[in-house]
Structure 1
Amino acid sequence: MIAGARSVPGMQTSSAKPTLTKWTMEQLARRGIVTPEAVDPQPWRNGLGTTRVIHESLAWRLSLAEIRGTLSFSLFPGMERILVLVSDAPLTLTIDGELRRLTRGRMVRFPGEAAVLPTPASSGATVLNLMTARSIAEPIASPLCIGDGLEVPPSETRIVGILAGELRWNDIPLPVGTVLLPSTRHRTLAGEGEAIELRVQPVSEAD
């Protein structure tokens, strides 16, 4: 279980989003850096909400979902799910009858078959949603508090999601909700902020 990342006064949060041009978003995407605005929203599997799918493959799926009202989450049998709260306001979920309250940077893990319902007060929350196929991969999450930049070496399993702060790549400001996908490139971020590191570990290695 991960703990929430340490807050730094004056940080950019989800309410402050730098504006990027289409050309800039494409430049970032070529480096495996995906901003929320670069991905079109699409309906949830059950049609009750919207999400931005950042990556989808046989082993894992990563999306940035918007929670609007008390809408039941879609069911994903055979998957393990990790939700990380990106927005500032707390999020309260009922997961198979158990109440779970999240603040920014905290996560909750549950099976894709679980019945999940947000409370009315949670409307407007944004979550980073990692799902892995239970027979193929194991999801792992840990917080990152970035005080003076971040080096992201080449990796086939490492994902970094930006939760707060003033982080930049090549002098391009990265909005909250930006994700660095696994890449063969070495990437360097400047600035300070809060992030979540997600890993998709093959089941054979996790065992």
Structure 2
Amino acid sequence: MIAASITLIRGVDLVASPWKNGGGVTREVAAFPEGASMDAFAWRVSVADVAQAGPFSRFPGVDRTLVLLDGAGMILDEGAHTHALMQPLDVARFAGESAIDARLVDGATRDFNLMVRRDAARGTLDVWRAGEARHVEADTALLYCAQGSIRIRVNDDAPVALERGDTLRIDLCNAHIATEGDGALLAIALRETQ
């Protein structure tokens, strides 16, 4: 197996930026290209604190995946279709150009967001529990600790400890990944298509 480039991103180091509409804040975990604007990313991963109900910003040409991390829940109305995120780790997938109106069930939520521009990249998001082992091939893999704490072993390297909110980024990933601990991960695999 080839050597992967591994970076630990601590959740406490993420910088909060307010939304333009004042309805919450976002913390970018990673994006490609790094530093890309909201109109130019191939993919973007972030954590958002949603303080009030309202419409989502539209992102034409972008596939979105949203995961509830904290809070009593959120209902996403998409015309005739509804996405109910009622339990932590519930997942909603929708097109960025869709008109989405969010309703909070009982107060603020924290959500994990994956956005992938269709003409530039492909991405998947899966929920892993501690104790899983998988082979992952991707240009970039992101392992976000969504619950508890987890130790991640990449190939035969020493384990890396993640606390809730931390992310392990693996670039040029062609690796066997094993997890231990009491938590849950959001595992994102990304491939650029251009």
Shared topology, TM-score over 0.5? yes
More displaced stretch, 187-196 vs 168-177: 168-177
Equivalent residue, structure 1, for 2:70: 87
Q: Partner of 1:37: helix, strand, or coil?
A: helix
Residue 129 (structure 1) aligned with residue 113 (structure 2): yes
Shift of 1:203: 4.6
Alpha carbons 2:140, 2:172 under 8 Å: kept: no
Q: Taking structure 1 as reference, are residues 158 and 31 closer, same or farther at Cα in structure 2, changes over 3 Å only? A: closer
Shift of 1:101: 0.9
Higher strand share: 2
The CA RMSD measured in Å over matched residues stands at 3.0
Could you tell me which runs of 5 or more consecutive residues in structure 1 were left unpaired when the two chains were aligned.
Answer: 1-29
Q: Pick the aligned partner of 2:52 from 69, 82, 86.
A: 69
Could you tell me which runs of 5 or more consecutive residues in structure 2 were left unpaired when the two chains were aligned.
Answer: 33-40, 153-157
Q: Taking structure 1 as reference, are residues 86 and 98 closer, same or farther at Cα in structure 2, changes over 3 Å only? A: same
Equivalent residue, structure 2, for 1:3: none
Q: Taking structure 1 as reference, are residues 193 and 73 closer, same or farther at Cα in structure 2, changes over 3 Å only? A: same
Residue 199 (structure 1) aligned with residue 182 (structure 2): no
Residue 42 (structure 1) aligned with residue 30 (structure 2): no
Equivalent residue, structure 2, for 1:140: 124
TM-score normalised by the chain length of structure 2 = 0.73
Equivalent residue, structure 1, for 2:93: 109
Equivalent residue letter for 1:180 = L
Shift of 1:106: 2.2
Among the aligned pairs, what percent are the same residue?
A: 25
Describe how 1:109-188 pairs up with structure 2 within 5 A. 109-121=93-105, 123-147=107-131, 155-168=138-151, 174-183=162-171
Higher helix share: 1
Alpha carbons 2:120, 2:193 under 8 Å: kept: yes
Distance 1:80 1:122 in 2: 27
Shift of 1:168: 4.4
TM-score normalised by the chain length of structure 1 = 0.69
Shift of 1:152: 8.3
Equivalent residue letter for 2:18 = P
Q: Taking structure 1 as reference, are residues 197 and 122 closer, same or farther at Cα in structure 2, changes over 3 Å only? A: farther
Shift of 1:189: 5.5
Q: Taking structure 1 as reference, are residues 43 and 53 closer, same or farther at Cα in structure 2, changes over 3 Å only? A: same
